């Protein structure tokens, strides 16, 4: 076992090491405090930033110029689209007016054709049945069926009775079947 005197030397040596560490720590604190930046006097005062590096400033300026060019191009496109939209609207108005005029013309033509058919049907009805039968026999069956279908039933019956049975049957079949394909719903 060691003597208590040996322990005392270890305690003294430990104290010296502790004191040396404290001195070094105290010396470093003073240097660190000396190198610390000073806080501004007023906390509400705005902080001033150093100017940006030249490359960053140039890049930002180029980007701003590029964005401005793109905005100008977009504004030109929007203006062109507005003009095109106005032209299309004008054309649609013109087409609507032309369509209305065409419908009016077709209605007049349909009315004139209908008037002509009604007049010709009245002429065939006023003919002698034998003469009308000879005329209808010479016509194409579809054409004859159209007129006989428009005639009064008594006049059509008198004309059909003056035709040959085969011709009268063919025309009757055409009259009966002309609306067979009309949708029922």
Ordered by start, the domain boundaries in the chain are: 53-109, 127-178
As a residue count, the chain comes to 185
Give the mean pLDDT of the chain: 85
What pLDDT does 132 receive? Answer: 92
Specify the higher pLDDT residue, 43 or 78.
78
**In the predicted model, what is the mean pLDDT of residues 29-48?**
65
Give the span between the Cα atoms of 69 and 60, in whole angstroms. 14
Select from 92, 150, 87, 165 the least CA-distant residue to 120.
Answer: 150
**In the predicted model, what is the mean pLDDT of residues 56-63?**
89
What pLDDT does 177 receive? Answer: 86
81 confidence band (pLDDT: 50, 70, 90)? very high
Please give the share of the chain, as a percent, with pLDDT higher than 90. Answer: 49
Q: What are phi and psi of 183, to 5 degrees?
A: -60, 140
What pLDDT does 55 receive? Answer: 83
């Amino acid at each position: 076992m060691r003597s208590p005197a040996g322990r005392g030397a270890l305690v003294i040596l430990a104290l010296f090491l502790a004191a040396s560490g404290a001195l070094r720590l105290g010396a470093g604190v003073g240097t660190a405090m000396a190198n610390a930046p000073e806080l501004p006097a007023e906390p509400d005062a705005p902080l001033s930033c150093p100017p940006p590096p030249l490359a960053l400033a140039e890049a930002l300026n180029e980007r701003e110029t590029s964005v401005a060019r793109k905005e100008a191009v977009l504004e030109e496109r929007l203006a062109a689209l507005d003009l095109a939209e106005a032209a299309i609207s004008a054309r649609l108005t013109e087409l609507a007016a032309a369509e209305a005029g065409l419908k009016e013309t077709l209605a007049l033509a349909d009315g004139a054709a209908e008037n002509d058919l009604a007049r010709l049907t009245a002429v065939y009805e006023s003919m002698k049945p034998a003469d009308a039968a000879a005329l209808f026999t010479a016509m194409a069956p579809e054409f004859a069926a159209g007129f006989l279908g428009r005639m009064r039933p008594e006049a059509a019956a008198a004309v059909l009775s003056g035709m040959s049975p085969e011709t009268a049957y063919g025309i009757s079949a055409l009259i009966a079947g002309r609306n067979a394909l009309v949708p029922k719903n």
